[in-house]
Amino acid sequence: MTLIEHLPVLVITIPILASLLILVAGWWDRRFCYPISLVTILSQFGAAVIILAQVMREGPIRYHLGGWAPPLGIELAIDSFNGFVLVTILLLAAATAVYARRSVEHEIGPEKTVSFYVLFQLLVTGLVGMTITGDIFNLYVFLEISSIAAYTLIASARKPRSYLASFNYLILGSIAGGFILIGTGNLYAATGALNMLDMARLLPASFELATVHAGFLFLVIGYSIKAAFFPLHIWLPDAYAESPSAVTILISTVMSKVSVYALLRIIFTIFTTAYIIDVFPVTGFILFIATVAMIAGAVLAIAQSDLKRMLAYSSVSQIGYIMFALGVANQVALEGGILHILGHAVMKGCLFMVAGLIIYRVGTSRLSDLEGIAKVMPISCAAFALAGASMIGIPPTIGFMSKYYLVLGALEAGHWAYAAILLLGSLLAVGYIWRFIEIAYFRGNRDGGHRARTLEAPASMLAPMVVLALLCLFLGIFVEGLMEIVGPAAALLLGGA
Amino acid sequence: MIEPLYELFFARYNYWMAIILMLIGLYALIAKQNLVKKLIGLNIFQTAIFLFYISLGEVRGGTAPIYLPEGVDALYVNPLPHVLILTAIVVGVSVTAVGLSLIVRIHEEYGVIDEADLVQELRRR
Amino acid sequence: MRKNVIIKTISRLSVPFIQVFALYVIVHGALGAGGGFQGGVVFAASFILMIIAFGLTCVRQRFSYRWIVALSALGITIYATIGLLCLIPGGSYLGYGSIETALGVPHLHGYLIDAVEVGIGITVMATMTSIIYDMSDRGGESS
């Protein structure tokens, strides 16, 4: 059927048209924004599932834009790795789209509601485009589209500190974009090709050139800044803590993951494993930095006094886990890393949704003000407990499964010390998760005056949170189904193009 | 001794120009306290990258990559970097616009746009 | 005041020429230097000149925010719709050849490229003008 052939490009174009429709319809009447946004994202999620099913059945999809075949034209190349990340992005976007209505009313306010939904659609466009493109310059363009939407979304909270957080992120993100551009230029100068698969074919002839080494370094550092890989994560705590809750959910779960996806794609598909193991051995260094990221992120998270900032530092730690998979670079570890992309998205999404609910009902997210909150918000704290258990890595949740594969991969490659440190990192996660659970459940037998009855949040915010929390459990139980997709994805990465 | 010096500096002067401009831009971005000057530094940095790209596409003796009338045989400069840089310029303009709007809002909120004064304002609140 | 007379007169004289030049740049994108973005920016520059010479309220009366929202949506809608229309006869996105073979009109390929450029130019002009409106507004009307 011809419509299914064109789904890759429809997944990118429909949100652009939807954002314009929201702009015009919302200008007329504000209540149109939410339904249009919801319908668009849900249909995109359906399209992503169909695309992934087709890729698993028939092999990679290569869609030539404009009818021009590469190397003249830009193409969209979807294989199992792409498809998996695409479904993750749209799952979280769908959850956020359902959640957004009350949260936006409360935290952003009526004047900026239309702009929120327009920018939300554009952010999703940029992220989806980044995931499925097969051209390295197009990757940069979509990265900048999503980044500009993110800068504006972060600044739309009604707090003055959000402007500073967004400006900080803008400066660092633009430096990262500049580095990515230099790196892409270096690779283009060395090979003359911009299509990822063509470049992978032409690059081995020039592996020894300093141009290629410089290009590799610029690209890795640029994408690491966007992915908030320690110690380049400085923008992250402010950006996550000061932005409105609906925005935080989307950027914390998906934006940094897509940059990690881009990093994995560049390192494994373009510069194949032959480069990073033989010619420019950088895996050991990345492994070391990733381990430092895991521990430092967790330690800094324990030291925080604000719930959202604590979860932000926890994200720094979790990105370290995925980069750990890159550092080990064998089949099992990469399976764990790719599984963690989905797992962390679901876990962190649920945790930030709980934080958003707490802000919606109580108005603050400082931990000292949240004592005994489990009595008035039982469902939210139960969801936090479940997602937190997954974050620590308690079986059979999905957090445990991804950490299990990571440890197995590290042991297979002989990195005994690193595997031990990974387990230590999980113990540190207990530190910050337990801190909230203790404050919520076991402290404070006072109700805080204004909270005299159950203050559970509206259904449109509860439902996605509960779904994500249950997914943490179910994805872990039914992990073999996921491994049928993740296994070939990891093999594809390691095998090169 | 002149040969290697020539090879290093004069034959590759376009890369040296781009690198010097990039470093000037990065210095302004990092060291200047005024937020508007930081944005200008970002602009200089991005412009230097554009220069680097376009100089990559230069063909010796080539003319601008626009089709000349039929019958005229000409050597054209590589048009692909020009197209890439058009897109990158649009991105740069958008980022500058967002950055300047943020600076306007920061000024409305705090009354200062100098980083040192900003830190004092934040400490005061 | 006398010192504004020179600016106002020269702006009044130059703005039409700037706008015609902007249209020239947009339409000649396919044949030479130019294109949607460049022409749109030059067109917006004519509005900026008018704002500098005559003030924001005067220009806002002629080109209100409502028009800007509508035009910026219109431009990209033209672009995306032409791209999606190319899917119907069976080609790929923005593959103008499929419409050309379907309708049988010669050189339609070139006309569709120009149409897309016009769409981009409209959006860029509207967006640049909205940027300058918001920056010179100093906290007045919100979006």
pLDDT of residue A460 exceeding 50: yes
Mean predicted lDDT score pLDDT of chain C: 86
Q: Are residues A189 and B56, on separate chains, in Cβ contact within 8 Å?
A: yes
Q: Are residues B110 and A160, on separate chains, in Cβ contact within 8 Å?
A: yes
Upstream peptide bond of A231 is cis (omega within 30 degrees of 0)? yes
pTM above 0.90, yes or no: yes
**Distance from C-alpha of C112 to C-alpha of A167, rounded to nearest angstrom:** 40
User: Which residues does chain C have within 8 Å of residue B85's beta carbon, measured at their own beta carbons?
Assistant: none
pLDDT of residue B25 exceeding 60: yes
User: Which residues does chain A have within 8 Å of residue B87's beta carbon, measured at their own beta carbons?
Assistant: 137, 141
| Amino acid identity for residue B111 in this structure | G
Yes or no: say if A465 and A249 are a contact pair by the CB < 8 Å rule.
no
User: Which residues does chain B have within 8 Å of residue C139's beta carbon, measured at their own beta carbons?
Assistant: 108
pLDDT at A71: 78
- Chain C contact for B66 (CB, 8 A cutoff): yes
pLDDT of residue B105 exceeding 60: yes
List the structure tokens of A63.
């869609």
DSSP state of A366: B
Average pLDDT of the segment spanning C97-101: 80
**Distance from C-alpha of A361 to C-alpha of A376, rounded to nearest angstrom:** 10
**Distance from C-alpha of A57 to C-alpha of A51, rounded to nearest angstrom:** 10
Yes or no: say if A88 and A43 are a contact pair by the CB < 8 Å rule.
no
Task: Provide the CA A330 distance to its chain's centre, in angstroms.
Answer: 22
Average pLDDT of the segment spanning A207-220: 90
Give pLDDT tens digits for A69-124. 777 788 898 998 999 999 999 999 999 999 888 888 888 878 888 889 999 999 99
Yes or no: say if A462 and A234 are a contact pair by the CB < 8 Å rule.
no
The residue that leads in pLDDT, C103 or A183, is A183
Query: Residue A31, exposed/middle/buried by CB under 10 A (0-12, 13-18, 19+)?
Result: exposed
DSSP state of A32: G
Give pLDDT tens digits for C49-82. 999 898 888 888 888 888 998 999 999 999 999 8
pLDDT of residue A55 exceeding 80: yes
Question: Using CB atoms, which residue from B81, B95, B102 is nearest to A174?
Answer: B95
pLDDT of residue A243 exceeding 80: yes
Q: Write down the domain spans for chain B.
A: 2-124
**Distance from C-alpha of A104 to C-alpha of A112, rounded to nearest angstrom:** 9
Mean predicted lDDT score pLDDT of chain B: 87
pLDDT of residue C1 exceeding 70: no
- Chain B contact for A186 (CB, 8 A cutoff): no
The residue that leads in pLDDT, A301 or C91, is A301
Give pLDDT tens digits for A192-207. 888 888 888 888 888 8
Average pLDDT of the segment spanning A150-160: 88
Residue A156 has φ and ψ, to the nearest 5°, of: -90, 5
| Amino acid identity for residue B107 in this structure | H
Chosen for mutation from B49, B101, B104 (greatest number of chain A CBs closer than 10 Å) is B49
Q: Write down the domain spans for chain C.
A: 3-135
User: Which residues does chain C have within 8 Å of residue A115's beta carbon, measured at their own beta carbons?
Assistant: 143
pLDDT at A496: 55
pLDDT of residue A448 exceeding 70: no
Give pLDDT tens digits for A289-348. 999 999 999 999 999 888 999 999 999 999 999 999 888 888 899 999 999 999 999 999
Q: How far is CA A207 from CA A137, A317, A329, A330, in A?
A: 20, 33, 19, 22
Q: What is the dihedral of CA A385, A390, A396, A399, to 10 degrees?
A: 180
Q: Are residues A182 and B35, on separate chains, in Cβ contact within 8 Å?
A: no
The residue that leads in pLDDT, B23 or B118, is B23
Chains that touch C (3 or more CB pairs under 8 A): A, B
Q: Are residues A23 and C69, on separate chains, in Cβ contact within 8 Å?
A: yes
Residue B32, C-beta contacts closer than 8 angstroms, at least 6 positions apart: B38, B41
Average pLDDT of the segment spanning A227-248: 89
Mean predicted lDDT score pLDDT of chain A: 87
Question: Residues of B numbered 82-121 whose beta carbons fall under 8 angstroms of chain A's beta carbons: which are they?
Answer: 84, 87-88, 91, 94-95, 98-99, 102-103, 105-106, 109-110, 118
Chains that touch A (3 or more CB pairs under 8 A): B, C
**Relative orientation angle of helices A80-107 and A113-132, to the nearest 10 degrees:** 170
Upstream peptide bond of B65 is cis (omega within 30 degrees of 0)? no
The residue that leads in pLDDT, A41 or C87, is A41
Yes or no: say if A292 and A233 are a contact pair by the CB < 8 Å rule.
no
Q: How far is B55 from chain A (nearest CA, A)?
A: 10
Q: How far is CA B54 from CA A334, A492, B77, in A?
A: 38, 35, 10
Three-class DSSP category at A64: strand
Task: Residue C40: name the closest of C99, C100, C128, C105 by CA.
Answer: C128
Instruction: Tell me which residue has tokens 């076991």.
Output: A442
User: Which residues does chain C have within 8 Å of residue A16's beta carbon, measured at their own beta carbons?
Assistant: 76, 80
- Chain B contact for A175 (CB, 8 A cutoff): yes
Q: How far is B79 from chain C (nearest CA, A)?
A: 11
**Distance from C-alpha of A471 to C-alpha of A350, rounded to nearest angstrom:** 10
User: H or E segment at A62?
Assistant: strand A61-64
- Chain B contact for A380 (CB, 8 A cutoff): no
* % of chain A at pLDDT higher than 90: 39
pLDDT at B70: 73
- The alpha helices in chain C, defined as continuous H runs, are 3-27, 36-54, 56-62, 65-85, 96-103, 108-135
pLDDT of residue C15 exceeding 70: yes
Q: How far is B43 from chain C (nearest CA, A)?
A: 18
Q: Are residues C80 and A66, on separate chains, in Cβ contact within 8 Å?
A: no
How much helix, strand and coil, in percent to the nearest 5, is found in chain B? 75, 5, 25
Chains that touch B (3 or more CB pairs under 8 A): A, C
Relative to beta strand A61-64, strand A75-78 is antiparallel
Rg (CA), chain B: 21
Q: How confident is residue C23, by pLDDT bands cut at 50, 70 and 90?
A: very high
**Distance from C-alpha of C119 to C-alpha of C37, rounded to nearest angstrom:** 10
Q: How confident is residue C142, by pLDDT bands cut at 50, 70 and 90?
A: very low
Chosen for mutation from C92, C94, C116 (greatest number of chain A CBs closer than 10 Å) is C92
The fold for domain B2-124 equals: Helix Hairpins (1.10.287)
Residue A153, C-beta contacts closer than 8 angstroms, at least 6 positions apart: A116, A119, A120, A123, A243, A244, A247, A251
pLDDT at A452: 44
Q: How confident is residue C143, by pLDDT bands cut at 50, 70 and 90?
A: very low
Q: What is the DSSP string of B13-46?
A: HHHHHHHHHHHHHHHHHHH--BHHHHHHHHHHHH
Query: Residue A13, exposed/middle/buried by CB under 10 A (0-12, 13-18, 19+)?
Result: buried
Q: Dihedral of CA C124/B87/C131/A259: which sign?
A: positive
